[in-house]
Structure 1
């Protein structure tokens, strides 16, 4: 049932006149509920319909000793339809109050859905502000593939937040699907002795009463919520700049500092190399967060500062930095398009190795076809178990075919069109979809338009083919 405005008793003649006038002017808001979920093929309940977020302002106060988070989220969004209510994704935490456009709003919780009913309907196109105050002990989630995401406590007494695919809803309410990107300001207040690191640029570090420090981070470029991070711990922090002026900020768990130093010193070089290969670096800052290795079983390309569980390898750092172009700046429209993230970042590893004394991309490609682990130890993996553009289920979106066969799709394009056209394709794709979203269909159409060649055989056999391309 739709929510309706309160009935006002007026004279019959006046009532008819008001109906006629409202019908003529279109001033009546025809609000209806926004959808709970965007019907993603693998995570249909992720995200919400009826609005697009423009900005998140998060004020977060964390007490590591008790594991308690107190938060205020101010979400600025634009209604894409008339709204009588809308949903936010939020897992576990207690909601203390909700205000929309400065007025108290009714709300209720069902699972991970927070349904908000504004005091007045929102008009299509209206920019509106929602303030949610919340608190509690944030928890980790278990993914379909068995890995953990969300708010994860670390062995050094701190915590780290990682969000692929939906873990960010464990620490702030929002529209948690990669198709809805927004800018962010995140302020983290923690006890003295802890560093608090997030995306973008550190704008200020302010002492607060009670022996606490507030770290204010500003991320001005659009970001999918799964790429947001908060890392709290006794980190060793280093700062610098690339030759072209990109700021570099690294935060490393003290026990991992020695083992991480050599590879992290190459971050500026890798950023410059990526700019030469893929076009200008898409953000104002770069860096890394190295957490205690027990915290996570994987690295994640959190925007501007990838998170690594323990000291990373050179290829892993290159992989996550390549994601800043492919996955972070150009983000997937749905989780079905993950190969556009992982295939591109894996192929970036091959290109880096090719230019830095390792095997060529052609040798890497042939190693996978032949199962030659002497060239690449992953060559005997199940890279051909399913097409990279059609993972069987949500637990497969990070499967080996998405990475390796995804990279092989790109190499097959390179074989078909030659190095010059292929390089132009990589740079053009990153430039023309900068800070946006794209699907597999967008890429296949773009590749043929950009190169001027039909690549149907590549798509049919390597991208969508059910049988082994060998």
Structure 2
């Protein structure tokens, strides 16, 4: 029904006009937040937009460490934006927003922020294309006093956690803003350029150079997007179920090459087993890269990167199980905040227990009880809280080992059927997204029908050694019998990650 406005309602019309004007004024475009608001890393990520895709097209010269090219970002604004930030530390030549030149300030304060002001404010809900052209030597760039890019004798590595992207492409660097990726890098013919997902093609457009083009079709966090340039032996295969399976081995691995291949070439077998525990493998490709250029290993999406030192004592499939368990816990289901790191590392460490039992090198019961018994109550290990360890203790041994003990305690409390149902429902419900510890606890209680607050409070959030161990035994002095695979497991996730 249409309502007739009479002359006597002039005051009402004036009030309405005033309200409308006030509403318009309050909706004026504002800057996007320069942070995602993560307490552990206050400068990480940004607000005001959501990225859907990154197209990274670069050329890299190992001899000079010069990285140049353009990253094109597809995003949708989540507010009316007068300007926005990207996490980036390299020298920028130009920025276009929807093909129009934008003004920008790049890394002027050493915090790795690229501040972009478009020619016109951006309305909320707009699809935006941002093209950033740049050239720099990443190994010379410091962000908050740190260098994330590693120059090697024959190339470079962009492999790190929790942050590395700002040294090679601009982005929204927090796990809560995942996107798909195309990574295309041109390098000299005598080196390879390795990244995530499927290798779309290699092409030669000029003499002496080859372009490697990779595509990741599933949502991916920025720190899990990697680049490894160097002299590698690259093997291109397919898994038994038809997925691309690409592995690469540093030509300088020496005597460790055989052990590295004996481990990483079994990745499809390991993932097939993990799928029986956690649900279907969540991505479109598999693989691994072994490099002598770093000591640690990292769960880069679809293609973990392994430090060569992890194979100096022989094959290490326990490490393969750890890093590939992250494909479910950490990659497909990313942390909602970095304080939720237990959802990554406790679960990946527990996957090593499951793999050990699967191959007959010690049961999960044996490994859990031994880990609990061998560390005295006086050890500082028990003072670290896996559920909120603090940024400086985020990768402490306790997050891994006490984190795994938490899961084994949960398993013994709710039973195997409920335990594995919890894990599989978690990975299915959160696939391609993020999760918080509180959400996992709620799911565990829902599936099991048991009150579990006290369990998680004791194991994740209370300093001190729990009085009851993961298998239900009370705290007491014990004679320890070391499970066969314990040394390998400890080496894998203490030295290897």
Scaled by the length of structure 2, what TM-score is found? 0.84
- 2:40 counterpart residue number: 42
1:264 aligns with 2:261: no
- 1:6 counterpart residue number: none
- 2:83 counterpart residue number: 85
- 1:228 counterpart residue number: 225
- Bigger share in strand: 1
Q: Which runs of 4+ in 1 moved over 6 A?
A: 19-22, 24-29, 140-144
Distance of 2:160 and 2:135 partners within structure 1? 19
- 1:299 counterpart residue number: 297
- 2:322 counterpart residue number: 319
1:373-431 deviation digits (Å, cap 9, x = unpaired)? 9xxxxx9985423110111x312111111111111111111011001111111111111
SS at structure 1 position matched to 2:184: strand
Residue 250 (structure 1) shift: 0.1
- 2:152 counterpart residue number: 154
Check 1:202–1:380 CA distance in 2 against 1; reply closer, same or farther (3 A cut). Answer: farther
- 2:479 counterpart residue number: none
Higher mean C-alpha deviation, range 364-373 or range 339-348: 364-373
Distance of 1:381 and 1:123 partners within structure 2? 55
Check 1:428–1:60 CA distance in 2 against 1; reply closer, same or farther (3 A cut). Answer: same
Distance of 2:450 and 2:84 partners within structure 1? 45
Higher mean C-alpha deviation, range 265-274 or range 224-233: 265-274
- 1:69 counterpart residue number: 67
Of 432, 453, 458, the residue aligned with 1:456 is 453
- 1:396 counterpart residue number: 393
1:381 touches 1:400 (CA, 8 Å); kept in 2? Answer: no
Distance of 1:309 and 1:140 partners within structure 2? 23
SS at structure 2 position matched to 1:414: helix
- 1:117 counterpart residue number: 117
Distance of 2:19 and 2:199 partners within structure 1? 53
Residue 297 (structure 1) shift: 2.5
SS at structure 2 position matched to 1:125: coil
Distance of 2:374 and 2:117 partners within structure 1? 57
1:435 aligns with 2:432: yes
Of 191, 198, 209, the residue aligned with 1:201 is 198
1:348-378 deviation digits (Å, cap 9, x = unpaired)? 00011011111211111211221179xxxxx
Gaps of 5+ in 2: 1-13, 468-497
Check 1:68–1:371 CA distance in 2 against 1; reply closer, same or farther (3 A cut). Answer: same
Distance of 2:364 and 2:460 partners within structure 1? 18
Distance of 1:394 and 1:332 partners within structure 2? 14
2:193 touches 2:227 (CA, 8 Å); kept in 1? Answer: yes
Distance of 1:381 and 1:276 partners within structure 2? 36
Residue 29 (structure 1) shift: 6.6
Alignment of 1:176-187 (within 5 A): 176-187=173-184
1:164-200 deviation digits (Å, cap 9, x = unpaired)? 1112111111111111100000001000111111000
Residue 244 (structure 1) shift: 2.3
Higher mean C-alpha deviation, range 222-231 or range 312-321: 312-321
Of 359, 383, 386, the residue aligned with 1:385 is 383
Of 191, 210, 213, the residue aligned with 2:207 is 210
Gaps of 5+ in 1: 1-15, 374-378
- 1:7 counterpart residue number: none
Alignment of 1:327-406 (within 5 A): 327-371=330-374, 383-391=381-389, 393-406=390-403
> How many pairs are equivalent?
441
RMSD: 2.5
Scaled by the length of structure 1, what TM-score is found? 0.89
2:248 touches 2:289 (CA, 8 Å); kept in 1? Answer: yes
SS at structure 1 position matched to 2:252: helix
| Structure showing greater Rg | 2
